[in-house]
A = this chain, B = another copy of it.
């Protein structure tokens, strides 16, 4: 691969930015601290403003108010991080996946693969499933029965869509993710568990992204739903019949139990948990490793847990936590009236 070369003026024109200072060639992107004279850096977080005077970057993407302080070539952007993301994408060099079905792939005769789709080595596609034009089914993927993969989806490698999973357009799924497995539905009968059949599916909206080794169960009755542009990081667990609103992003290792409904534009921190059957409204932020134990009806930021302490001090606080009701009842004004 020959690395592409651009000019600052060309980038300005392409992305609607204002060029200040002389035009320069851009051979790549880097952080302000590490960029060299043929590279483009960016300043989005004010915390790094001090690096502006020392950077060796040939071109810097920044806000108008920071441009004054910079003597070199600058691309002025309303949102430098977004502008940087778009420029960096020019250097991404994604591998091309030619249309066609690899000879080692196994496709059920009742499945339909568009001639403009790519099916990689050791993939298998089950009965009645459909792969649309421009879609990539990477090496080792397993598509089960009655699934639909929309246009320009990318299942990178070793992704499983088990049963009744329907992906919109441009959905990207990282390796090891499993969609459409049976939800965890159990009933106790005479001392033994019996499975409650999981007859629904999974519906994933356009432009969603699903991280590595993330799992999304299919619904029991009705579907598990991700609306458009939902972003799930790695190792997330989504239970059956959950619904996640458009543009919500969840960080790694978070989890949502069955039948919970999450709103739009929510941000769920890493390792956070949301119990089953709850409702979380739009624009809620849950901080890392918090547990949501009741429905949330007001936008805002929510937390649980205790702060990090050295273990010796923590042991003292933890021991006192167990006595907390007694301590509170003895405190001046304590007692049952203390709501």
Cα distance, A264 to B145, chains bound together (Å): 36
- Of B34, B156, B303, the contact of A309 (CB 8 Å cutoff): B303
Is A46 among interface residues, defined by CB-CB distance under 8 A?
no
Is A168 among interface residues, defined by CB-CB distance under 8 A?
no
Residues A331 and B327 in contact, CB atoms below 8 Å apart: yes
Is A58 among interface residues, defined by CB-CB distance under 8 A?
no
Is A67 among interface residues, defined by CB-CB distance under 8 A?
no
Is A325 among interface residues, defined by CB-CB distance under 8 A?
yes
- Stretch with Cβ within 8 A of B (4 or more), from A4-12, A87-95, A111-119: A87-95
Is A98 among interface residues, defined by CB-CB distance under 8 A?
no
- Of B288, B314, B332, the contact of A331 (CB 8 Å cutoff): B332
Cα distance, A288 to B278, chains bound together (Å): 14
**Chain B positions within 8 Å of A156 at CB level:** 162, 181
Given contacts A142-B157, A196-B88, contact A126 B318 (CB under 8 A): no
Residues A324 and B320 in contact, CB atoms below 8 Å apart: yes
Cα distance, A223 to B207, chains bound together (Å): 27
Is A338 among interface residues, defined by CB-CB distance under 8 A?
yes
Max chain B C-beta neighbours (<10 A), residue from A229, A288, A302: A288
Is A49 among interface residues, defined by CB-CB distance under 8 A?
no
**Chain B positions within 8 Å of A306 at CB level:** 304-306, 318, 321
Is A290 among interface residues, defined by CB-CB distance under 8 A?
yes
**Chain B positions within 8 Å of A287 at CB level:** 311
Given contacts A85-B187, A209-B195, contact A301 B309 (CB under 8 A): no
Residues A331 and B333 in contact, CB atoms below 8 Å apart: no
Cα distance, A29 to B222, chains bound together (Å): 10
- Stretch with Cβ within 8 A of B (4 or more), from A19-27, A68-76, A212-220: A212-220
Is A13 among interface residues, defined by CB-CB distance under 8 A?
no
Residues A308 and B334 in contact, CB atoms below 8 Å apart: no
Is A30 among interface residues, defined by CB-CB distance under 8 A?
yes
Determine the residue in chain B with the shortest Cβ distance to A313.
B322
Is A300 among interface residues, defined by CB-CB distance under 8 A?
yes
Residues A215 and B215 in contact, CB atoms below 8 Å apart: no
Determine the residue in chain B with the shortest Cβ distance to A163.
B95
Q: Give the distance to chain B from A176, nearest Cβ to Cβ, in Å.
A: 5
Given contacts A106-B121, A234-B215, A275-B288, contact A197 B85 (CB under 8 A): yes
17 contacts between A and B (CB under 8 A): A85-B187, A85-B197, A92-B199, A95-B144, A124-B139, A174-B178, A178-B234, A193-B207, A193-B231, A253-B273, A293-B307, A300-B311, A302-B310, A303-B309, A303-B318, A307-B318, A317-B322
Identify 17 new A-B residue pairs, CB closer than 8 A, beyond the known A327-B328, A330-B334: A30-B222, A79-B187, A79-B189, A85-B196, A91-B197, A140-B158, A160-B176, A175-B178, A181-B211, A237-B252, A273-B289, A288-B291, A304-B306, A317-B321, A317-B322, A320-B327, A330-B331
In the A-B complex, the 9 residue pairs with the closest CB atoms: A301-B311, A316-B325, A320-B324, A178-B212, A106-B121, A303-B314, A160-B175, A317-B324, A88-B197
